Amino acid sequence: MVFGTFVLAMIVLFDRILLSVAKDPVAESLQLSDKQMGWAMSIFALGYALFQTPAGLLADKFGPRKILTAVVSLWSLFTALTGATWNYISLLIVRFVFGVGEAGAFPGMARAIYRWIPLQERGIVNGINFSGGRIGAAIALPAVAWLMDLFGWRLTFVILGLVGMLWGVVWYWWFRDDPRDHSGISAKETDFIIEHTEKEVANTVKAQIHLGKLFRSKTMWLLMGQYFSSNFTFFFCLTWLFPHIKAKYNLDALEAGFFTAAPLISGALGNWFSGFLVDYIYKKNKMTLSRKLPAIIGFLLASVGIVAGAYMETVTPAIVFISIAVFGADMTLSPSWSACVDVGRQFSGAVSGTMNMAGNIGSFLTALAFPYLLDMTGSEIPFFYLAAFLNLIAIVLWLGVKPQLPLDLTL
């Protein structure tokens, strides 16, 4: 199951970063300015953000088998359709619906983790899943540049859309919402899973959520705020890092692809390290600290790295510091999603979706803030200071999070 969600996370970020790598040929073909490309990149994040909570509710109600199959098929179709766009408006529409489809990915995974993964293993599982996204994006940077050289940008989008559709077919055939329904799992392993997941699953799985309680929860708003900051930093890597590095240091597309893959690999390592740290501290019977400490360390590294990288005059040290920033930003993911499962329990899909909604409002603003601040000030430095400030605010927000206290969200 973890391998399946790891591969899905690779596909999610692979598809998401395509437009960044294809920025120059797309802009040239459709005659778009940098600000218009900023909107094309950010409109994905808007669709993604707005449909996080509905996608989480659907995953809780219908299960991750059906929902993940449906949403992967939807966004893969619109990945392919990106290659058929003919002007600015058609690109905006296709990328918005693409974002709507991807909105169900991580809430669906969270629901699968709640049902399948024992409490003491959730940190590393979340770390593995999010590292898959970073590895997928890192592979995409040089691979997409190479594919575009071979087939052009339009056919490249079609090819990668087909990959996602194949994953959906395999997932629906193999996965089961309840591990007890899977023929490949022994009774002994099933008993272990049931014993070490939430013991109230059988009694509460049909309960209905009270959305008013969800949005009145202080914990929910703290988780949303810190995740906004995390995504604001990371989404820069998926949108403007490639064209920024390419232009600032006068690189060709393949060189820029290899350089900008490094922060994403660093992000994967951050996810693995943080996932290990979350579980290690948890097993020391320090549940609250296991969520807070990795996140706080991560946001501190992100603040320092993002500012230092902005002042580097050559590409290698710039990439080193940006890699430190992304390592830190990705350290915040495992504790964030683990905390959502902790406090959300049977509503973990809705809680994680709501947090991710706020995070991707941050993503939406990142893709716009960089070109607009650059145009207003003539420098990229203000953007990096803004990202650092948000990371410091997130540390304060984590101090108020109480992951040991489940939310009462039932009607």
C-alpha 223/C-alpha 226 separation (Å) is 5
Other Cβ atoms less than 10 A from the Cβ of 389: the count is: 14
Nearest 5 degrees, angle CA 289-CA 294-CA 296?
90
Residue-range definition of the domain harbouring residue 211: 2-399
Q: Is residue 407 part of a domain?
A: no
Q: Is residue 302 part of a domain?
A: yes
pTM of the entire structure?
0.79
Helix (H) / strand (E) element for 65: namely helix 64-82
Phi, psi values for residue 410, rounded to 5°: -80, 150
Nearest to 329 by CA among 360, 356, 296: 296
C-alpha 143/C-alpha 254 separation (Å) is 9
C-alpha 176/C-alpha 49 separation (Å) is 27
Place of tokens 């619109």: 78
CA–chain centroid gap for 371, Å, is 22
CATH number of the domain where residue 8 is located: 1.20.1250.20
C-alpha 328/C-alpha 289 separation (Å) is 17
Other Cβ atoms less than 10 A from the Cβ of 87: the count is: 10
pLDDT digit of tens for each residue in the chain (411 aa)?
999 999 999 999 888 888 888 888 999 999 999 899 989 988 988 888 888 888 888 988 899 999 999 999 999 999 999 999 999 999 999 999 999 999 889 889 988 988 899 878 887 888 888 888 888 888 888 888 889 989 999 999 999 999 999 999 999 999 999 999 998 889 898 888 888 876 545 544 567 888 899 999 999 999 999 999 999 998 898 888 988 999 899 998 888 888 999 999 999 899 889 989 998 999 899 999 999 999 999 999 999 999 999 999 999 999 999 999 999 999 999 899 889 988 988 888 788 888 988 988 898 898 889 999 999 999 999 999 999 999 999 999 999 999 988 888 887
Helix (H) / strand (E) element for 230: namely helix 218-239
Q: Is residue 365 part of a domain?
A: yes
Phi, psi values for residue 292, rounded to 5°: -75, -50
Domain count, the chain: 1
User: What 3-state DSSP class applies to 410?
Assistant: strand
Q: Is residue 405 part of a domain?
A: no
Q: Is residue 352 part of a domain?
A: yes
